[in-house]
Amino acid sequence: MTGSVGSQHWAPGDHILWRYRGNGTGEVHICRPVTVVQDTPELLAVWMAPGTECVRPVLVDGTPVHEEPLATRYTAARTTERARWFGTGVLKLARPGDPWSVWLFWERGWRFRSWYVNLEEPRVRWSGGFDSEDHFLDISVYPDRSWLWRDEDEFAQAQRSGLMSPAQAARVHEAGRLAIEQIRAWGTPFADGWEEWRPDPAWRVPELPVDWDRTPAHTAP
pLDDT at residue 170 is higher than 70: yes
Q: Which residues in 110-125 are b (16+ Cβ under 10 Å) and which e? A: eeeebbbbbbbbbbbb
Q: With 50 as the cut, is the pLDDT of residue 22 above it?
A: yes
Q: Distance of CA 21 to CAs 1, 60, 89, 148, 213, Å?
A: 19, 18, 22, 26, 10
Whole-number pLDDT of residue 7: 54
Instruction: Provide the pLDDT for residue 218.
Output: 55
Q: Which of 192, 95, 183, 118 is nearest to 144 (CA)?
A: 183
Q: Which amino acid is at 48?
A: M
CB-CB contact of 70 with 154 (8 Å): yes
Mean pLDDT of all residues in 159-179: 97
Percent of the chain having pLDDT more than 70? 95
- Determine the Cα–Cα distance for residues 15 and 37; give it in Å rounded to an integer: 10
Does position 203 have pLDDT exceeding 70, yes or no?
Answer: yes
pLDDT of residue 145: 98
Q: Which domains does the chain have, with CATH numbers?
A: 15-196 (2.40.380.10)
CB 5 within 8 A of CB 14: no
d(CA 198, CA 213): 30
Query: pLDDT-derived band of residue 56, with 50, 70 and 90 as boundaries?
Result: very high
Over residues 16-29, mean pLDDT: 93
| pLDDT tens digits, 118-162 | 999 999 999 999 999 999 999 999 999 999 999 999 999 999 999
Residues 17/128, Cβ–Cβ less than 8 Å: yes
**Average model confidence (pLDDT) for the chain?**
93
Q: What is the DSSP letter of 62?
A: S
User: What is the pLDDT at residue 40?
Assistant: 96
pLDDT of residue 221: 52
Query: What would the pLDDT profile of 60-89 be if each residue is shown by its tens digit?
Result: 999 999 999 999 999 999 999 999 998 899
**Largest Cα–Cα distance in the chain?**
47
Q: Using the predicted structure, report yes or no on whether residue 6 has a pLDDT greater than 90.
A: no
The pLDDT of residue 216: 73
